[in-house]
Each structure stands twice: as C-alpha cells, then as structure tokens.
Structure 1
Amino acid sequence: MKNIVILISGRGSNMQAIVEAARAEKWPARIAAIISNRADASGLEYAAAAGIPTAVVVSKDYPERSDFDAALRAKIDSYTPDLVVLAGFMRILTAPFVEHYDGRLLNIHPSLLPSFPGLATHQQALSFGVKVHGASVHFVTADLDHGPIVAQAAVPVLQDDTEHVLAERVLAQEHIIYPRAVRWFVEGRLSIENGRVHLADQAQ
C-alpha cells in the first residue's frame, strides 16, 4: 500500500480526480494527506469532507523560498510518502526540495511540453496559432516545467477559441491522464532510463 501526498493551492480539481479514481478503481494506495500553501484553498474543504487528512504550510509566512521548502518538506515527510503529486500547486520549488523527491514527484502542466512552459500557456497557444494544444504529466526536475514526460493528451485548437474555452477543454483531459499516470506509478509500472519514462506492461 503506497502513500500519496497531494499538494494544492486552490480548488484542486486534479486532486479530486485522483482521489475519486483511486477509490473507484481500488488502487493499492492511500491518499495520506492533502497539503496546501494557502489556508483558503477550497480543495481543503473537499479533502476534509472526503475524510482525508489536511495540512497547511503558508508560503507567505516564509520570506525565503528555502525556508518554506524546508517546512513543507518536513510536513510532507511526516506522512511517509511514496509519491508526491503537484495538483495546481502554484509555487516554484527549490532544487534541494526537488532532489529530495527525485523519481517520486509528479506534476501536470497545461501544455504539450516542451512547448509553452511557465504561465499563461493557453494564451501562448492562441497567440502562436498552434492547431493542437494539450497537457503533460511529468516527473519534476529542478528545471521548471521540464523533466521526463509520463503522459500527454492533445486537444484541437478551434478558430473561435478563447483562453477560457481552451483551458476547459484541456482541463477535461488533465482529469483523465493525471489519475492514469498516478495509477501507473502506484502499480510500479514507471521507470526512467536516460531521461525517458518507460511504461511496463501491466502483466509484468
């Protein structure tokens, strides 16, 4: 039974998708805790209602990023996680933090990486006139929005798309591929070789 800790900053819709998939599909894992850097994150209410332990490490209480990361790491490690999942966690993490969770820290980014790292990905997609956009699940490295890619989903960019409409289309796919990627990790099917993720057959 693997322990999963999920980090959020807001409503945590991807967190909810993972929690619901884990329960519906009876993963050999438990959601050990939902942790936020904001006390007003609405996702904490969902987690509490679902009977999942919650915690808050308020980022603005720590002027130095390294101090916040140290406090966050201590809180996460109190739940002995096998996997840490970033689900709309709006903080740039320091290299020592990322290295501590090397190979067991996942993130989802709303673009087809390596295209459009950083913020405002949907507006970037519209501004560049790309015809296909999407989302990527990846292992986190010290380089922002980089790291070995686990799964991707693509959506068409339509002529009359707005940033909001495109974001909602991408988010629907995020809710599919993120739980799937987390389940693969839980099942021990993911490995990283030469910077690339390999997915083992389920029968192995």
Structure 2
Amino acid sequence: MKVRIRTHHANIAEVSEKKTVKIVVLASGAGTLLQSIIDQQGAYQVVGVVSDIDCAALERAQVAGIPTEIISLAESRDRDDWNTRLVAAVEKHNPQLVVSAGFMKIVGKEFLARYGGRTINTHPALLPAFPGAHAVRDALAYGVKVTGSTVHFIDEGVDTGEIIAQQAVDVRRGESEADLHERIKQVERKLIVSVLNSAVVVMNAETNCEEVFFHV
C-alpha cells in the first residue's frame, strides 16, 4: 500500500471519500498516553498495539478489545531479526500511521524504510531544542522559561523528524523535573489526540496513492 503524508493545512472539504485513519500504537510502559489515544478515537481507529515487553499498556489495549502482540528483543536472534519481526507485527494490521507512545526501543533501518515516513512520536520539549532522553532535565538546567511538547515524525536521527504540532508549557520557578514532566505529559496527551483527530486519509485517483492529511 502506498501512503503519502501531507502535514500542511489541507482543504479536504471537497473530498468525496473520507476514510478513518487506521493506526498501530507502539508502547512499552504504563500506557497512560495510549489510554488517551484509545479513549478519544474519532477520525482514527487503533487497530493494534505492539510492545517489546509485557506491560500495563497491553492490558489497557486488551480491555478495549484491541489486538496486542509482544515482540521481545531477548527472544530475537539479533537486533535485525527483532526489527524484521516488529515490521511484520505492524504490517498485519495494515495501518496508515504508527504512533510511538512511550516505546522504549529504537527502531532500525528496516522499520524506518517501511514506516519511518508515517510513524509519529511525542517529545517533552519544543524541538529542535532539547532532543534526546533527558529533555525535561536539560530544559531546567538551561534555565528556559518555556518548554512544551512536540508531535513529530521519526527518522534516522534523534528527535530530528518533521514537526507536526507543538504546544508550549510555562516553567514554574523552583519546579522539580518530575512536576514539570507531569504537566508536559498532560499537554502531550491532548496534543497527540488533537493531531490524530485532525487526520483524514483519502485516495488520490490520479496516483492511486492514499494520502493522509493533517489539518492542524
């Protein structure tokens, strides 16, 4: 299936056929972000949840009747084999988009070749500022007055993919890293749902290519 992503403001009013965007979520932890995504499905539908470990996120998906699968790195021959199995686990659901929601593994070249252009990630900072695993700590150490949350596509870099949407969060004087991170997470949950519910997938009759538009 060919899918092209467009992130500019799309004029979809004249589109005759609109489809629900099918998404697969990758998750490794408690699943609070996943829960928000599940609870507020509208323009999108969660058709599968894949994890690298047995975790609470899978339980949340199972309660909602969503198919789940574990692709364990420890049970794979090597990293390449794990990536091959991860791609297969996602492909069986035939999604237009993949959402990384607290997924704690870095995907490899095979996954990026298949889904890199349509896998969304959230990051607890206003990219391109403060990429990496310690974004909240780094923002506090730098002394910024404003940070926030970013929704972006993944690519081969570290938090370098195309930005889809951002929302700012003020930094309070004397605030701890944990408290700031929790407030960013609250914004993050609303932002990712807003982005996903802004999406529409349509078929371009001329190119025979499905196009996903975000009108954010």
Please classify the TM superposition score into its range, dividing by the shorter chain length. Answer: 0.7 to 0.9
Does structure 1 retain, via aligned residues, the 8 Å contact 2:24–2:90? Answer: yes
**RMSD, aligned α-carbons:** 1.7
In 2: Cα distance, 1:133 partner to 1:96 partner: 33
Residue in structure 1 matched with residue 46 of structure 2 by the alignment: 31
User: Is residue 26 of structure 2 the alignment partner of residue 7 of structure 1?
Assistant: yes
TM-score, normalization: structure 1?
0.86
Residue of 131, 134, 137 corresponding to 1:123: 137
Query: Which of structure 1's runs of 4+ aligned residues deviate more than 3 A?
Result: 198-201
The 1-side partners of 2:156 and 2:109 are apart by 5
TM-score (normalised: structure 2): 0.81
Gaps of 5+ in 2: 1-19, 203-212
Q: Say how many residue pairs are matched.
A: 187
2:49 aligned with 1:59: no
CA shift, 1:200, in A, is: 4.1
> Does the Cα contact within 8 Å between 1:106 and 1:138 map onto a contact in 2?
yes
Return the index of the structure with the highest Cα Rg.
Answer: 2
Q: Do the aligned partners of residues 187 and 180 (structure 1) sit closer, same or farther apart at CA in structure 2, a change above 3 Å counting?
A: farther
The answer to whether residue 171 in structure 2 is matched with residue 152 in structure 1 is no
Provide the C-alpha distance between the structure 1 equivalents of 2:32 and 2:200, rounded to a whole number of angstroms.
20
2:61–2:68 Cα contact (<8 Å) kept: yes
Q: Distance in 2 between matches of 1:168 and 1:184?
A: 25
Q: Deviations over 1:104-149 (max 9, x none)?
A: 2111011111111111211111111111111100011111211110
- The residue aligned with 2:123 is 109
| C-alpha separation in 1, matches of 2:116 and 2:215 | 20
Counterparts of 1:129-168 in structure 2, within 5 Å, are 129-168=143-182
Higher helix share: 1
Q: Deviations over 1:83-105 (max 9, x none)?
A: 11100001111133112114321
Q: Match for 2:21: what amino acid?
A: K
| Post-superposition offset of 1:60 | 2.3
Match of 2:111 in 1: 97
| Identity percentage of aligned residues | 36
Unaligned runs of 5+ in 1: 189-197
